[in-house]
């Protein structure tokens, strides 16, 4: 993988994290621009590392690092979930962080169209579904 290809893949992950983080920041949520961008970049970097190692070492399983990204980001997401009495807050932020990591992995793997589709879906769901969810919560 060339340096240019590396930059494009990390750049795509950064852009996806920026778009998702902007939506979260716009709606005053727990995680915003920096968090989602860093998660996407970090996930992409780990995947790119596994690709680079696989290029240099034949017969290596490139999915092992990606699997550990999923586990590590799950731990990170758990840090934004908190309970206040009977209410639990931060689940959507944790899920969004998890999606940002997955999208970063996808961008690092070179699936740019799929990266944009998933970014669009995350932003759309966070923007459109939230008012519907509030309405359902508050109906009698």
Q: d(Cα 31, Cα 53) in Å, to the nearest integer?
A: 32
Alpha-helix runs per DSSP H in 1-140: 3-26, 33-56, 63-78, 91-108, 112-124, 130-138
Q: pTM of the predicted model, to two decimals? A: 0.81
DSSP secondary-structure letter at 61? -
Q: What is the pLDDT of residue 89?
A: 81
Q: What is the pLDDT of residue 62?
A: 78
DSSP code, position 57: S
Q: Is the pLDDT of residue 28 over 90?
A: no
Count other Cβ atoms within 10 Å, centred on residue 109. 18
Write the burial class of residue 101 (CB in 10 Å: 0-12 exposed, 13-18 middle, 19+ buried).
buried
User: What are the boundaries of each domain within the chain?
Assistant: 3-134
Closest CA to 31 of 67, 72, 73: 73
pLDDT digits 0-9 by tens, 81-91 = 887 888 778 88
Q: Which residue has the higher pLDDT, 11 or 93?
A: 11
Rounded percentage of the chain residues whose pLDDT exceeds 90: 34
């Amino acid at each position: 993988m060339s340096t240019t290809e590396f930059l494009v893949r990390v750049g795509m992950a950064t852009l996806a994290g920026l778009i998702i983080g902007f939506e979260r920041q716009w709606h005053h949520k727990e995680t915003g621009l920096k968090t989602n961008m860093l998660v996407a970049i970090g996930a992409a970097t780990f995947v790119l590392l596994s690709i680079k190692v696989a290029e240099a070492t034949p017969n290596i399983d490139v999915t092992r690092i990606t699997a550990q990204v999923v586990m590590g980001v799950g731990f990170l997401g758990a840090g934004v979930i908190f309970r206040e009495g009977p209410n639990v807050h931060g689940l959507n932020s944790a899920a969004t962080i998890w999606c940002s990591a997955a999208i970063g992995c996808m961008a690092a793997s070179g699936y740019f169209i799929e990266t944009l589709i998933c970014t669009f879906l995350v932003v759309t769901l966070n923007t459109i579904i939230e008012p519907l969810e509030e309405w359902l919560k508050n109906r009698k």
